Amino acid sequence: MSVNPDHNLQTSATDSSGAKLPRHVAFIMDGNGRWATARGLPRTEGHRQGLEALRKVIRHAGKVGIDVITIYSFSSENWSRPEAEVSFLMGLLRRFVQRDLSELHEANVKIRIIGGRRDLEPGILKLLKEAEDLTRNNSGLELVVAFNYGARDEILRAAQALAQKVADGVFNPEDVTEDALSGELDTSGLPDPDLIIRTSGEMRLSNFLLWQAAYSEFYFCDLLWPDFDEAAFDQALDCFGARERRYGGVSAKTF
Ligand code: FPP
């Protein structure tokens, strides 16, 4: 995979038809609970179907030639959900790793986990580490799983790491640059997301990739996550292809 670690802002690639393709797409997979409630089912059934939608998205991303996808699978705030739902989500993550890991590895997918590791249950930590270790040298699609993730927490941890370097005399305050901070984030070395997709009609970032989203394009759709499929993904990619990204500059058309 051709991810350039030195540049967080990169021009997008193109697909075989020459259309602009995002290199990195991030997903806020929202609406599982509503999907289930609308069908008179327990919320957990929405999460189960959500995992099916995720499998479709991973396969499709690989097929169309996207380099990186990031999924918001469990936020640091999600622990406040009812215990039974949290426990179901942990079980789903366990099943996802146990059932899908070998298939993902065969498909050359590289898994990376972002989010706070401190205070995680040892069983979950072991599982996450196993997924990363097995796929570390793969060179295909990079699947970034945001688990126990909160962007403010990620930025704070990075700021603390830099402050420690200054305190240790390894860094001068003026060495605290954008690149230095990016390098301390959990996403260090990854390109910033070109496109962030949120389903279910909600239009907010919910503490997801706050630093990395500085120049991301946003795509919101009304579909609930379990209904998000290849066609919906293609529609988002088409919409991205039609966007003009200026990174704070002016349109080429105005010259
Ligand atoms: C948001 O929907 C979704 C989540 C908090 C969990 C996302 C999890 C999956 C899609 C399952 C697969 C992923 C892994 C790796 C385990 P919501 O529950 O907030 O829906 P609502 O807003 O309708 O209540």
30 is a catalytic site residue? yes
Does the beta carbon of 237 sit less than 6 angstroms from any atom of ligand 1? no
What is the reported pTM? Answer: 0.91
Does the beta carbon of 187 sit less than 6 angstroms from any atom of ligand 1? no
Mutate to test the pocket of ligand 1, among 35, 47, 222, 224 (most ligand atoms within 8 A of CB): 47
In angstroms, the CA 99 to CA 144 distance is 18
Distances (CA, A) of 216 to 25, 56, 128, 243, 244: 9, 23, 27, 11, 11
Pairing of strands 68-75, 24-28: parallel
Give the pLDDT band (50/70/90) at residue 123: very high
Listing DSSP states for the chain in one string gives ----TT-SS---EE-TTS-EE-SEEEEE---HHHHHHTTT--HHHHHHHHHHHHHHHHHHHHHHT-SEEEEEEEETTGGGS-HHHHHHHHHHHHHHHHHHHHHHHHTT-EEEEES--TT--HHHHHHHHHHHHHHTT--S-EEEEEEEE-HHHHHHHHHHHHHHHHHTTSS-GGG--HHHHHHHSTTTTSPPPSEEEE-TT----TTSSTTGGGG-EEEE-SS-GGG--HHHHHHHHHHHHT----TTS--GGG-
Instruction: Dihedral sign for Cα 230, 236, 64, 194, please.
Output: negative
Distance of CA 52 from the midpoint of ligand 1 (Å): 12
Mean pLDDT of the chain: 92
Distance of CA 208 from the midpoint of ligand 1 (Å): 14
Give the pLDDT band (50/70/90) at residue 17: low
Question: Residue for token digits 């001068």?
Answer: 172
Lowest mean pLDDT among 89-93, 156-160, 193-197, 224-228: 89-93
Does the beta carbon of 226 sit less than 6 angstroms from any atom of ligand 1? no
pLDDT in tens, 172-185: 999 999 999 999 99
Of 60, 2, 1, nearest to 27 by C-alpha is 60
What is the chain's length? 255
Does the beta carbon of 198 sit less than 6 angstroms from any atom of ligand 1? no
**Superfamily of chain region 19-150+193-241:** Decaprenyl diphosphate synthase-like (3.40.1180.10)
Distance of CA 32 from the midpoint of ligand 1 (Å): 5
Give the pLDDT band (50/70/90) at residue 93: very high
**Residue 55 pLDDT greater than 90, yes or no:** yes
Distance of CA 228 from the midpoint of ligand 1 (Å): 13
Give 190's contacts (C-beta < 8 A, 6+ positions apart). 3, 8, 24, 68, 112, 142, 144, 212
Directed axis angle between helix 122-135 and helix 83-106, to 10°?
20
